[in-house]
Every structure is written in C-alpha cells, then in structure tokens.
C-alpha cells in the first residue's frame, strides 16, 4: 500500500475540484528515482558522517538518521532511492570519496 501522501490525485469530475487552485498534496507520488542512470552508494566504512552529501542534495533525497558513534551523536546519511535522480553532486562533493557508483540496469 502506498502512503496516502504518495497517491496522485485525479479529479473524476469538475465537482471534485476545489473552488480555488489550492495545493492539496505533496509531490511524493512522483518517484523521481526512475530518472536515475547511475546509483550512488555510501560506503559506511569510509563515511565520516560529515553530512556534506546531505547538505548539497537538491532533491532532497538523502535522509539523516541519528546514531551514536563512540558515545557521540552523529548523523548517518541514508540515500532514498525512491527519489534520488543520480545527479552526482553527492559523490562529487564527498570529501573522503565514500560514495561510489553503479550503473542502473533497469
């Protein structure tokens, strides 16, 4: 089941339409991951949790998860492949080359 916010709204008739041009929902239904030719993959052995990839993702399709490393709170970047367009900014900007790539086959 897709989340409610991931459903595309289709009006069956003019009666369903709101009286004004208002936004009713997000763009979450639009899975832009299908645009991707190249898949970025984070190598967590190299990742220093600097969050630079997260900072520069235009989608945004990198989520942050709070984790503890050596008793310190860190943010772990996790790529959301549902929406990542494969633009390459994250692997270009990563200062320690922790993001490698694979060609998408489908």
Partner 1 sequence: MKLSIPEEEIMGHGHLACQGCGAALAMRYALKAFGRNTVMTFPACCWSVIDGPFPHSAVNVPLFHTCFEAAASTASGIKAGFDAQGKDVNVVAWAGDGGTYDIGIQALSGAAERNDDIIYVCYDNEAYMNTGVQRSGSTPYLSWTTTTPVKHPKQRPKKDIVSIMAAHRIPYLATASVAFPEDMITKFKKAKDIKGTRFLLVFSPCPPGWRANPENTIKLAKLAVLTRVFPLIEVENGRVWKLTKKVRTVKPVSEYLKLQGRFRHLSEDDVAVIQENTNKDWEILMDKVGEKD
Q: Which residues would be at the binding site for partner 1 (CB under 8 A)?
A: 8-9, 18, 21-32, 35, 49, 51, 55-56, 58-61, 64, 72-75, 80, 82-83, 85-89, 91-93
Binding partner at 25 among ligand SF4, partner 1, none, C-beta below 5 to 8 Å by kind:
partner 1
Q: Which is nearer to ligand SF4, 17 or 44 (CB)?
A: 44
What does the alpha-carbon distance between residue 94 and residue 51 come to, in Å, rounded to a whole number?
A: 9
Binding partner at 40 among ligand SF4, partner 1, none, C-beta below 5 to 8 Å by kind:
ligand SF4
Q: Which residues contact 33 (CB under 8 A, 6 or more apart)?
A: 61, 80, 81, 82, 83, 84, 85
* Nearest approach, Cβ of residue 100 and ligand SF4 (Å): 12
What does the alpha-carbon distance between residue 88 and residue 57 come to, in Å, rounded to a whole number?
A: 9
Q: Which is nearer to ligand SF4, 86 or 98 (CB)?
A: 86
What does the alpha-carbon distance between residue 89 and residue 31 come to, in Å, rounded to a whole number?
A: 19
């Amino acid at each position: 089941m897709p989340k409610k916010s991931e459903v595309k709204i289709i009006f069956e008739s003019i009666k369903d339409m709101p009286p004004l041009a208002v936004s009713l929902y997000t763009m979450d239904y639009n899975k832009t991951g299908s645009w991707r030719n190249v898949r970025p993959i984070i190598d967590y052995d190299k990742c220093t949790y600097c969050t630079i990839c997260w900072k520069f993702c235009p989608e945004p399709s990198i989520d942050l998860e709070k984790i503890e490393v050596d008793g310190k709170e860190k943010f772990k970047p996790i790529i959301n492949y549902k929406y990542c367009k494969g633009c390459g900014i994250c692997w270009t900007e990563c200062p320690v080359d922790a993001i490698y790539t694979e060609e998408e086959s489908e």
